[in-house]
Amino acid sequence: MICGIDEAGRGPWAGPVTAAAVILDPAQPVTGLTDSKKLTEARREALYPEIKAKALGYGIGWASPDEIDAFNIREATFLAMRRAVAIMGLVPELILVDGNALPATLPCPAKAIVKGDLTEPSISAASILAKVARDRAMEELANRFPGYGLRRHKGYGTAEHAEALESLGPCSCHRKSFAPVQRVLKAA
């Protein structure tokens, strides 16, 4: 009952931060797990339903742009992680979190592991679930907020995104506490 946790979307200027918690079933291994950033989009999409089908439990938690602005990105990430564990419906014996910091008030002992998404299969699985879920959420936001290029850059800081912010101004999916968005708001 080891749970891996990872997040996606800490750096973008728009959209939620997403965390996933996964308890893998040793009797049903998933092959090809690694850091989601090392996989193609097609491979992540193929692994996503397999992880969900074979895991003993999983949860996907979110923190909105408003929560990111209210609490800061670190605390919002920890909130998404706690939500992912709560949604999972199982209480693990140990939680392994990718990175060098842990959220407070987890339901069991936890350990932070730098680059854990490369070494711990449960964290790798969480990395994939979080990335695919967030990418899909950004696709939906791209439909709701056309003109920003969200489908292509997923809310990250690209030249295209900066130009769209300048011409259209921020929308409700933007993180108003992030400096590039703040600059546009102050200039308006």
Residue 11 CA to residue 15 CA, distance in Å, equals: 10
Q: Cα angle vertex 70, ends 88, 15, to 5°?
A: 60
Does the annotation place 6 within a ligand binding site? yes
- Asked if 48 and 126 touch (Cβ cutoff 8 Å), the reply is no
Task: Give the per-residue SS3 of 132-186.
Answer: HHHHHHHHHHHHHCCCCCHHHHCCCCCHHHHHHHHHHCCCCCECCCCHHHHHHHH
Q: Cα angle vertex 146, ends 140, 147, to 5°?
A: 140
Helix intervals (H) in 1-115? 41-54, 65-71, 73-88
The dihedral built from the CA positions of residue 91, 104, 178 and 66, taken in this order, carries a sign that is positive
User: Which pair of tokens denotes residue 180?
Assistant: 């590039």
User: Which pair of tokens denotes residue 6?
Assistant: 């990872």
- Asked if 44 and 131 touch (Cβ cutoff 8 Å), the reply is yes
Return binding residues.
6-7, 98
Binding site, annotated residues for a divalent metal cation: 6-7, 98
